Amino acid sequence: MRTRQSRPKLQPVHEEIGGLLSAEGEDRFSCPKEIRKKAMDFLARREYGFEELTRKLADKGYKRTAVEDELARLDDEGLQSDTRFAEAFVQSRINQGKGPVRIRADLGQRGVRDGIIEGALENAAVDWFELAKQERLKKFGAERPADFKEKARQMRFLQYRGFEQDHIQAAVE
C-alpha cells in the first residue's frame, strides 16, 4: 500500500510576487491580494468595465464586497478604467459595423454609466450616416431597393445593427 506524501509548499519564483501570495490561514476568496492578482490577470488580456469585472470575479467565488473594494483601488491607480473600456468597446463595435443604438445597449448591459457611454460615442468621431450606408452596400450591393418589401428588409437589417432611424433612412434612399 502506498502512503500519501504531502506536497511541499510552493515558493514564489520571483521575490516581487511573493507579496501576492495569501497568508497560510487566510480565505482565498476574500483576500485582497488574491482578488487583485485575478483581476490583473483578466485586465492583462483585455479591458473590462468595473461592473463586468466585478461580476466575473464574483462568479469565480470571490466575495463581492472585497472585490468592489479592490477594484476601486485599481480604478484609483488607473489600472482599470470604465472610460478606457468604453472607448475600446465603441471602436471595436464600429469596426464590426454596429450603430450607436446597439453600442449603447451593449455597454449598458455591461454596467457602464450613460455619461461615459455618450462620451465614448462622441470621442469616436464617426459619421454614422456613412457607416450605415457602407454596411448596407456591403450586405445588399449598390442597387437601391426595387420595391417596398426589399426596402423594409434592408431597413430591418440596419435597425438590427443598431442604427438610428435617420441613419437608416439616409442609407436606403
Q: Which domains does the chain have, with CATH numbers?
A: 27-76 (1.10.10), 82-124 (1.10.10.10), 128-172 (1.10.10)
| 1, three cell numbers | 500500500
pTM over 0.75: yes
The pLDDT tens digits for 78-134 are 999 999 999 999 999 999 999 999 999 999 999 999 999 999 999 999 999 999 999
CB atoms within 10 A of CB 6: 5
Q: Distance between CA atoms of 159 and 166, rounded to whole angstroms? A: 11
Percentage above 90 pLDDT, the chain: 76
Reported as a pLDDT band with limits 50, 70 and 90, residue 17 is: very low
Which stretches of 22-172 are DSSP H helices?
Answer: 32-45, 50-59, 64-76, 82-95, 100-109, 114-124, 128-140, 148-161, 165-172
Is 28 or 6 the better-scoring residue by pLDDT?
28
Sign, CA dihedral 124-127-128-130, equals negative
Other beta carbons within 10 angstroms of residue 28's beta carbon come to 12
Q: For residue 30, which phi and psi values (nearest 5 degrees)?
A: -125, 5
**Quick check: 24 pLDDT over 60?**
no
CA distances from 28 to 15, 34, 101, 171 (A): 20, 6, 41, 54
